[in-house]
Chains A and B, each alone.
Chain A
Amino acid sequence: MGQNETAHAPTDDASGETEEFDPIGTLTLIAIYFVILVLSWVYIYYIEFLGRDLVVVG
């Protein structure tokens, strides 16, 4: 949480080269969402949809 404290003192590192802002929590959250999305899609499409009887083929 402390990593973005520098935002309060923008003049200090306005050069921007040294990036201190690492929202690891957001990254983790997005990674979890991503995994949920992929797993749901695989389940919905490959197991639920393609696994049912009488797949429409024409």
Chain B
Amino acid sequence: MHIHNYEKIWLAASVLLILLLLGSVTYGAVGPGVAMVSDSEQAIDAGGLDDDDRFSEPRVEQVGENEYEAYVVAYQFGFQPDPIVVPENSTVTFYVTSRDVIHGFEVAGTNANTMVVPGEVSKITVETDDRQEYGLICNEYCGAGHHVMEGKVNVVSQAEFDDRNDGGNGE
């Protein structure tokens, strides 16, 4: 079979393109460590969040040196806690669940973005950089107040974070 030279060129180019795409995704996973929303979390009872260790009291907790966990509940129409306050330059794992219908959890302008499904816990881990205030929005239509459903994720200095947790709420 005779294959025209030009055809060989664009066959080779398309193979190269596929390898480039696969290569970048592999690089993303290996280099910066890009991961998917974890599916390893156990299902929970959306109606029983008040009896749940993590979600009866939505909060941010320190779980290791410079490692934090944020337990977040989405509801019609908002997020708890509000704002979600985390320290700068740390590793934060968000556990997000819903007490009613499907919501979205999108830290505006960032890659932190997941669906929030009642009965399921969405787990995403991110690394925070410098101090910054991010908007937090629901990106799944969830009812009449969807358009006003918003929150905040505030990345604050370590000192301010410690202040808030020692001084204020007294658990």
| Interface SS majority for chain B | mixed
Instruction: Return the chain A residue nearest B93 by Cβ.
Output: A58
Instruction: Return the chain A residue nearest B127 by Cβ.
Output: A57
Residue B110 is within 8 A (CB to CB) of chain A in the complex: yes
Residue A9 is within 8 A (CB to CB) of chain B in the complex: no
Measured in the bound complex, the distance between the Cα atoms of B24 and A38 in whole Å is: 11
Instruction: Please indicate the chain B residues that have their CB under 8 angstroms from the CB of A27 in the complex.
Output: 6, 9-10
Report the tally of A-B residue pairs with Cβ distances under 8 A: 79
What is the distance, in angstroms, from B32's C-beta to the closest C-beta of chain A? Answer: 6
Contact with B along A35-58 (1 / 0, CB 8 A): 001100100011001101111111
Tell whether, in the assembled complex, residue B4 and residue A21 are in contact, meaning their CB atoms are under 8 Å apart.
Answer: yes
Instruction: Please indicate the chain A residues that have their CB under 8 angstroms from the CB of B124 in the complex.
Output: 56, 58
Contact with A along B29-42 (1 / 0, CB 8 A): 00011111110000
Give the size range of B's interface with the partner: 35 or more
| Interface SS majority for chain A | mixed
Measured in the bound complex, the distance between the Cα atoms of B2 and A49 in whole Å is: 43
Measured in the bound complex, the distance between the Cα atoms of B23 and A45 in whole Å is: 12
Instruction: Return the chain A residue nearest B36 by Cβ.
Output: A56
Instruction: Return the chain B residue nearest A46 by Cβ.
Output: B24
Instruction: Please indicate the chain B residues that have their CB under 8 angstroms from the CB of A21 in the complex.
Output: 4
Given the contacts A16-B2, A30-B13, A58-B124, A53 and B24 also touching, CB distance less than 8 Å: no
Tell whether, in the assembled complex, residue B125 and residue A53 are in contact, meaning their CB atoms are under 8 Å apart.
Answer: no
B residues whose Cβ falls under 8 Å from a Cβ of A: 2, 4, 6, 9-10, 13, 17, 20-21, 24, 28, 32-38, 91, 93, 107, 109-113, 123-129, 132, 134
A residues whose Cβ falls under 8 Å from a Cβ of B: 16, 19, 21-23, 26-27, 30-31, 34, 37-38, 41, 45-46, 49-50, 52-58
The 8 closest A-B pairs by CB, nearest first: A58-B125, A54-B110, A54-B126, A54-B112, A57-B33, A53-B110, A27-B6, A56-B124
